[in-house]
Amino acid sequence: MTGGENFLDSAGRSDWEQLVALLASSGLPTAGLEEHLPTTLVVREGDRILGSVAIEMYGSDALLRSLAVSAECRGRGLGRRLAISALDLAGSLGAARVYLLTETAASFFRRIGFRDVPRPDVPERLRGSLEFASLCSSTAEVLALSLSDRSPSREAGQM
């Protein structure tokens, strides 16, 4: 999975401090993420982590979280690449549907194919996750995508 000088990789324990710093500077919570490091992806450039995304599995439902690109690297397609890779990962782990919460990037995810979901429609097992708990009283929007509805042209950015 190469892409110029950056490459996409699985996160490991030694990435934790950089991940926390990236998420904090991006205004995203880290609660509960550590136990999902095996299903966290990062974009590396040398020893630096430029971006991240994580998948939490809850039966056939997945939660996409912690999508962040360092401020100076935004606008180069890394965010889209990470989001698509997270969908691939969720599918390979057996997810049928992927949910997410966002306060700042709903339109980014709609362009990939996510659709708005009323909170009461979110499966109970996802609502119990720390990500939902930490954002539950906020203005975060909930979006979801059925992996069977994925559109390659939309994901490639051909709107």
Ligand X SMILES: CC(C)(COP(=O)(O)OP(=O)(O)OC[C@H]1O[C@@H](n2cnc3c(N)ncnc32)[C@H](O)[C@@H]1OP(=O)(O)O)[C@@H](O)C(=O)NCCC(=O)NCCS
Interaction site with ligand X (CB under 6 A): 26, 28, 65, 67-69, 74-80, 102, 104-105, 107-108, 157
Report in angstroms how near the CB of residue 153 gets to ligand X at its nearest. Answer: 13
Residue placing its CB nearer to ligand X in the complex, 17 or 103: 103
Of the two residues 24 and 96, which places its CB atom closer to ligand X in the complex? Answer: 24
* Residue 5 DSSP class: B
Residue nearest to ligand X (CB): 79
Terminal C-alpha separation, the chain = 24
Q: How many CA atoms lie within 13 A of 90 on its CB side?
A: 31
Q: How far is the CB of 39 from ligand X (least distance, A)?
A: 15
Q: Quote the Cα angle for 30-137-62, to 5°.
A: 55
* Nearest distance in Å: CB 28, ligand X: 5
Q: What are phi and psi of 33, to 5 degrees?
A: -70, -35
In sign, the C-alpha dihedral spanning 30, 35, 38, 44 is positive
Give the type of residue at 7.
Answer: F
Please identify, using beta-carbon distances, which residue of 12 and 157 lies nearer to ligand X: 157
Give least dist CB 73 to ligand X, A.
7
Q: Which is nearer to ligand X, 76 or 127 (CB)?
A: 76
